Amino acid sequence: MRRRRGRPIDGWLIVDKPSGMTSTQVVGRVRYLFDACKAGHGGTLDPLATGLLPVAFGAATKTVPYVMDGTKRYHFTLRIGEARDSDDADGVVTGTSDVRPDNAAFEAALAAFRGDIMQIPPVFSALKVGGERAYDMARDGRPPDLPPRPARIDRFELIARPDADTAIFEVESGKGVYMRSLARDIARACGTVGHVAALRRLQVGPFGESDAIVLDKIVASADNAPASPDLLLPVATALDDIPALALTPEEAESLSHGQALSLLDLMGRIPDAVDPRSGVVRAMDGARVVGLCRPVDGWLRPVRML
């Protein structure tokens, strides 16, 4: 028999991911629990990591890129004195050091890791090299030589020092920044080696810990019906930090059919600040999000209609 595809539901579920599961496994689990036909996530977390994993259902998958472009906030624990091939506690030890930097050494080194930097990703990453995943090459004993990539670090602070072997940091960053690389590199900058012993994501774009649901608490009902869509946040929640533009119902209808609107007709309504990351505005028909649009050459053109 042909497998049933699931029901069409739309919205965001913010999962508090447990350690030991991949992001793909979490998406598969919640898709099963909600019997959803379409789901994806808004930013991969390593298996070792815990914290916010936004899962998009249905129409929310159209807004995933805007969530992934948002600011992310993490706490990570650096274990000092031991390098590992994966740059986290799941890897094999590749080197040791007796050097234990003091807090002043870390504070002095942190400045070089703030702002726009170049970062070498971990060899155990999902990046492709010649059509192969880097982590597959590393597992086969062929670790790739990955070039540095641009990264943006908005905040990088030492927040706790439980003992000489351990330091805890808080990071706010843009997309595509590897906490494992930051841990490896801050240790090296202080004349030692280290790896991530624990990692937790606290924020992804507009989503924070108050939005999160522990995976084990998402259960089907007593009669084995799927989990309730009432647990989901609206699709538009992902776009809350994008400037809003109020439209008339007629204008919203035109945009929905792919027609551009003259900016002259919208004078006085265009937000002063267009989203700096995407250059888009959030088109609104009352309380309903129509979609995302971009002002171009005197016209408001549809980018992604919801």
- The residues that are catalytic are 46
Token pair listed for 42? 């808004």
Phi then psi for residue 244, to 5 deg, are: -95, 145
Token pair listed for 74? 């993490």
Phi then psi for residue 182, to 5 deg, are: -60, -45
Whole-number Å distance between alpha carbons of 168 and 197: 10
Whole-number Å distance between alpha carbons of 240 and 86: 36
What is the CA 293 to chain-centroid distance, rounded? 23
Whole-number Å distance between alpha carbons of 30 and 219: 9
Token pair listed for 255? 């945009």
16: left (phi over 0), alpha (psi -120 to 50) or beta: beta
Whole-number Å distance between alpha carbons of 207 and 235: 12
Residue 199 burial class via C-beta count within 10 angstroms: exposed 0-12, middle 13-18, buried 19 and up = buried
Residue 105's contacts (CB-CB under 8 Å, 6 or more residues apart) are: 190, 191
